[in-house]
Amino acid sequence: MKKKILFFVAFMLFLLLACSNQSQATFTKQNYTIDAIVLQNGDMYVEETIQYKTDESKNGVTRTIKLRNPGNTTNSATGFELEDVLVDYESCIRVQSAVNGQDKVYEYSYDGDEAYIKLYTPFRYQGKTVKYIYTLKNVAVKYNDIAEIYWNFIGNDSTDRTENLTINIALPYEASQDTIYVYGHGSDNGTFKKNRNYITLTAQDIAEKQAIDARVLFSKDAISTTKIVNKNVLQNYRNVEEGMNNKTLVFGVDINIIATICIVIILVAFVIIYKKYHRRFKKIDGYVRELPYGLDPEILQYVYYGKIQKNTFWVTFLNLVKKGIFSIEKTTNKVGKETYAIVYKDDKQKLPDYEEKATELILNCMSDENEQDKKQIELKRLKAKLKTSQANEDYEQFCESIEKEIDEIFEEDKKSKKIRTIIIIVMTLFILFIASLILIINGQLKLAIPSMILLGITTVLFGMIFTSIEKDEATIWLFGLLHCAVFQVADFGVLFKSGVGLFYIPYLMLFILMIYCCRLKIESDKKQEVRGMVKSLRNYIKDYSMLQEKGVEDIVLWGEYLIMAVALGLNKNTINYFYDGCIQNNNSLGTSLVIVGNYSTFYSGFGTTFNSVRGYSSSSSGGYSGSSGDFSGGSDSGGGGRRRRRHWLILIL
């Protein structure tokens, strides 16, 4: 039994070694030398000498010489003459038909487009030297300003690797009297040398199916040929071959110019879309003296700034005081110190949902502070209570109710399906356009298709992510941006490697524009009109103290003006002016504020925000600068949007 196991193991090892040796078998061109002589009549005499190296057994080799190139017909040969085939420097015999095992015989066919040579000579685990001698008819092209040889010395149908390639080209002697330009293609490690009218091109490690060609430009007086083209080509060929000014031409147009045009078009499109759809003010001539459409200050503040501001809750509180839902009273605390308290009046007024939420929030803070069912709370205690997690949750509901009210009032903020569809179609076509450029420049689908797939994945995947998440979900934004950055680096690397790196700029711009348009909401005319009216009201309140004439009806608006001054971020002097005016005119809000003494004391007592719920930035519109900095006016940089906590769970899992 043990012997059988040992025999089986030995047999498997033998098979493994045999397969390994078979996989490592080689049949390569160790040295490949092409000696080409350009004749004065435009023909080219060629001797190909190939030293094969092999550790396997073969019956022979084949050689196909294509005379015509569909993409380069001007430089094709018009005829082919095979002079000799040699193996180890012995001439071979041309036969009509041969079989495997024969030595130094070959079959030959020529159909006008290609010459086919099938050489029979057994390779028995050792190399041989094969030589082909032939003449290509009428290869050179004569232009008005230059003569040209442009030839594929090795086609892309070669099945063997070449270790060392040498191409020697001899031009007619007259070519040395003028400048000679030499350009080789197909190998990254190729070099060339010129010595008068002799040219040598060398390259190493040429993979199978890798084509090698060369273009040689020389004096048109060196040849006389029937292939004459009546045009000047020297400067154009030099631009193409030498990449003058780093130009890559597509259909005769510099690719950098194409990319620049794309960048300009996208910039113009962004400006047009931004001006047409972004938050706008409808121009209102003159002043507006009353609150537009009788809307509450917190609603007008949201419309003006387009988002919840850090003092929105306190604007609502002032409005509730003005309505008589709460009052501010002087009281004595438990240690006998005089202080100020907020007292709930238990008014039965019908309030909007957001004011109901604000009332409930304050009442919840009062719930464990009262004795004998007296619903009141000290200002300092309220300030501390509002920093609890429960207050934060109540505040979130307050913010959502304001946003819901905005949607119901204006029936707008609909996403534009038309502009979104157009941008997505443009993005798709642009990715296909980039892939087409890569294909045209490189001529390889293996570069164009992966580029198209990678750009497509980046666009679709992160387009969906950035379109769906809420604007204030910082964690999700960070998560998406980090992953998107990795894909964008890969996109740039692929485009740069493919020769269209500059097109990454318009692609990235179009990607950002697509995200912007997918998140864009179109405002109603009514909302734009209200925003314009609020702006005119703000100007009126700001200029109120300097106006010579004030309407009698303005007397009853002192409270509303004070609240709007706070809501719209007006400066300290303006707010104090209306604070004093409320008290002097016995306004309902002033009646409650009079015991506080001055606005600074009142402001300091209410210094708090809900930063733990929504991220706000400081005011940039000149709000009141008290000791705590929280009752100042809102600004365009304030936070907003809705937080959805469920995303935390997604990230953790």
Q: How far apart are CA 365 and CA 344, in angstroms?
A: 12
Q: Report pLDDT digits (tens) over 23-35.
A: 455 789 999 999 9
DSSP 228: B
What pLDDT is attached to residue 636? 33
Q: How far apart are CA 526 and CA 388, in angstroms?
A: 38
Beta-carbon-side half-sphere exposure of residue 233 (alpha carbons within 13 Å):
22
User: CB of 336 within 8 A of CB of 312?
Assistant: no
Structure tokens at 349: 């007024």
Reply yes or no on whether the pLDDT at 641 is more than 60: no
Q: How far apart are CA 508 and CA 484, in angstroms?
A: 11
Are 105 and 239 in a shared domain?
A: yes
Are 407 and 444 in a shared domain?
A: no
Reply yes or no on whether the pLDDT at 390 is more than 80: no
Read off the CATH number of the domain in which 44 is found. Answer: 2.60.40.1730
The more confidently predicted of residues 324 and 387 is 324
Are 482 and 352 in a shared domain?
A: no
**Percentage of residues of the chain with pLDDT beyond 70:** 79
Q: Where does 281-367 show beta strands of DSSP type E? A: 326-332, 338-344
Are 102 and 215 in a shared domain?
A: yes
Residue among 364, 388, 381, 382 nearest 314 (CA): 382
Answer yes or no: is 196 within a domain: yes
Structure tokens at 604: 């300091």
Residue among 209, 238, 36, 16 nearest 139 (CA): 36
Are 151 and 65 in a shared domain?
A: yes
Are 439 and 513 in a shared domain?
A: yes
Q: Report pLDDT digits (tens) over 42-97.
A: 999 999 999 999 888 889 999 999 888 655 677 889 899 999 999 999 999 999 99
Answer yes or no: is 399 within a domain: yes
Q: How far apart are CA 171 and CA 173, in angstroms?
A: 6
User: How large is the C-alpha radius of gyration of the chain?
Assistant: 42
What pLDDT is attached to residue 243? 59
Burial class (CB in 10 A: 0-12, 13-18, 19+), 342: buried
Last residue of a domain, one of 246, 276, 306: 246
**Percentage of residues of the chain with pLDDT beyond 90:** 20
The more confidently predicted of residues 414 and 367 is 367
Residue among 54, 58, 66 nearest 151 (CA): 66
Q: How many residues are given for the chain?
A: 653
Biggest CA–CA distance in the chain, Å, is 126
Answer yes or no: is 91 within a domain: yes
> How many domains, in total, are found in the chain?
3
Are 456 and 368 in a shared domain?
A: no
Answer yes or no: is 239 within a domain: yes
Q: Report pLDDT digits (tens) over 174-193.
A: 888 888 888 888 776 778 88
Last residue of a domain, one of 212, 228, 246: 246
For residues 540-548, give the mean pLDDT.
Answer: 75
Reply yes or no on whether the pLDDT at 577 is more than 70: yes
What pLDDT is attached to residue 169? 94
User: CB of 76 within 8 A of CB of 227?
Assistant: no
Reply yes or no on whether the pLDDT at 130 is more than 90: yes
Answer yes or no: is 645 within a domain: no
Answer yes or no: is 647 within a domain: no
What pLDDT is attached to residue 71? 57
The more confidently predicted of residues 282 and 643 is 282
Residue among 359, 317, 365 nearest 589 (CA): 317
Q: Report pLDDT digits (tens) over 549-573.
A: 555 455 567 888 888 888 888 877 7
Reply yes or no on whether the pLDDT at 107 is more than 90: yes
Reply yes or no on whether the pLDDT at 634 is more than 50: no
The listed range with the strongest mean pLDDT (16-20, 88-92, 620-624) is 88-92
Partner residues linked to 110 by β-bridges: 115
Residue owning tokens 């409320």: 582
Encoded amino acid at 566, one letter: V
What pLDDT is attached to residue 576? 79
Answer yes or no: is 335 within a domain: yes
Residue owning tokens 């009297």: 177
Answer yes or no: is 217 within a domain: yes
Are 126 and 218 in a shared domain?
A: yes
Q: Report pLDDT digits (tens) over 453-469.
A: 999 999 998 888 888 88
Reply yes or no on whether the pLDDT at 511 is more than 70: yes
When mean pLDDT is compared across 60-69, 321-330, 355-364, 627-636, the lowest value belongs to 627-636
When mean pLDDT is compared across 27-36, 111-120, 145-154, 553-562, the lowest value belongs to 553-562
Beta-carbon-side half-sphere exposure of residue 424 (alpha carbons within 13 Å):
12
What pLDDT is attached to residue 47? 96
pTM beyond cutoff 0.75: no
Cα 598 → chain centroid: 55
Expressed as residue numbers, the domain containing 308 is 292-412+524-544+551-605
The more confidently predicted of residues 82 and 321 is 82
What pLDDT is attached to residue 193? 87
What pLDDT is attached to residue 11? 54
What pLDDT is attached to residue 210? 82
Query: Which SS3 state, helix, strand or coil, does residue 75 take?
Result: helix
User: CB of 158 within 8 A of CB of 62?
Assistant: no
Are 397 and 505 in a shared domain?
A: no
472 pLDDT band, cuts 50/70/90, is: low
Residue among 234, 246, 245 nearest 179 (CA): 234
Side by side, the strands of the sheet bearing 162-170 are 90-91, 79-87, 129-137, 44-54, 27-38, 162-170, 198-206, 191-195
The listed range with the strongest mean pLDDT (9-23, 277-291, 456-470) is 456-470
Are 529 and 421 in a shared domain?
A: no
Are 64 and 178 in a shared domain?
A: yes
What pLDDT is attached to residue 15? 52
For residues 483-500, give the mean pLDDT.
Answer: 86
Reply yes or no on whether the pLDDT at 6 is more than 80: no
What pLDDT is attached to residue 176? 84
Are 202 and 87 in a shared domain?
A: yes
The more confidently predicted of residues 346 and 460 is 460
User: CB of 98 within 8 A of CB of 106?
Assistant: yes
Q: Where does 269-427 show beta strands of DSSP type E? A: 326-332, 338-344, 376-378, 414-415
- How much is the mean pLDDT over the chain? 78
When mean pLDDT is compared across 42-46, 92-96, 355-359, 472-476, the lowest value belongs to 472-476
What pLDDT is attached to residue 128? 92
DSSP track, 565-577: HHHTT--HHHHHH
